[in-house]
Amino acid sequence: MIKVTFFGYSSFALEGEKVKLILDPGVKIPGEETIIPQDVWPDTDIILVTSVSEDHSGMVKNILEASGHAFIIAPPELQTHLGEGEYNFYPVRAGESTSLLGCRFQAFLAVPGQAGGSLLTSLFKRKGKTKEGLGYLIEMEERMICNLGETLYREDWEEWQSDLLLIPIGGGTTMDSVEALKAIDKIKPRLVVPMHYNLPKGVYKAGQVNTDDFNRVLTEKGFECRVLQPGESIVI
């Protein structure tokens, strides 16, 4: 069993019997507040990052210090941003995979849309920013979790038969809820948890999403959906 906790934006903790994984430990944009609370950081085994932007990776160093031993799986560009130091860093690009602590991570391309006017000053404070990121198929303790990352809709997704799909639905820099329904029809997960929605409009160019309507339509289509509030958990 894996405990899945959502913290807002695209940030999660996945806690299995043997491995604790933190996904996209960023900071809230605009601002510097951590998305994942500090009391979650200790005992982290793996930090999985989809993008070098600060709302996905801004707290990586802090969590490394809190855990004392965590491994990082991320786009290669993040290693440059971390600067000097000894890190257990496993770089991956789209189409590549890596295995660690009994888990397997297969990376695929995620392409976000253009962000709002505060992009240069808030969202990407780091030089050498990349426009593309990653999604991952995560095989962890007999579960398959598909995390699409911060991305627009893509036609090349497959029927991955995942136990859990983490999918952005907010629009703007990602697909909206209508496009997300198309993606779910294609991927056919057992359970859906939406993410990356109802975020600051000035940065993400996104409107408000009615998650009750999204949940209802998914249920009518025969899919199971859980809309989690920040800090709320489920077990898969």
* Partner residues linked to 166 by β-bridges: 147, 193
Per-residue tens of pLDDT for the chain, all 236 residues: 999 999 999 999 999 999 999 999 999 988 889 999 999 999 999 999 999 999 999 999 999 999 988 999 999 999 888 887 788 999 999 999 999 999 999 999 999 887 654 444 334 444 444 467 999 999 999 999 999 999 999 999 999 989 999 999 999 889 999 999 999 999 999 999 999 999 987 778 788 899 999 999 999 999 999 999 999 999 99
Q: What is the pLDDT of residue 115?
A: 66
Contacts of 200 (CB under 8 A, 6+ apart): 29, 30
Whole-angstrom Cα distance, residue 236 to residue 234? 7
**Secondary structure, 3-state, 101-169:** CCEEEEEEEECCCCCCCCHHHHHCCCCCCCCCEEEEEEEECCEEEEECCCCCCCCCCCCCCCCEEEEEC
- For residue 108, give the nearest of 76, 71, 149, 80 by alpha carbon: 149
Q: What is the pLDDT of residue 123?
A: 46
Contacts of 79 (CB under 8 A, 6+ apart): 87, 89, 91
Q: What is the pLDDT of residue 103?
A: 98
Pick the CATH number of 3-235 from 2.60.40.1180, 3.30.420.140, 3.60.15.10, 3.60.110.10: 3.60.15.10
Q: What is the pLDDT of residue 100?
A: 97
User: Cα 119 from chain centroid?
Assistant: 19
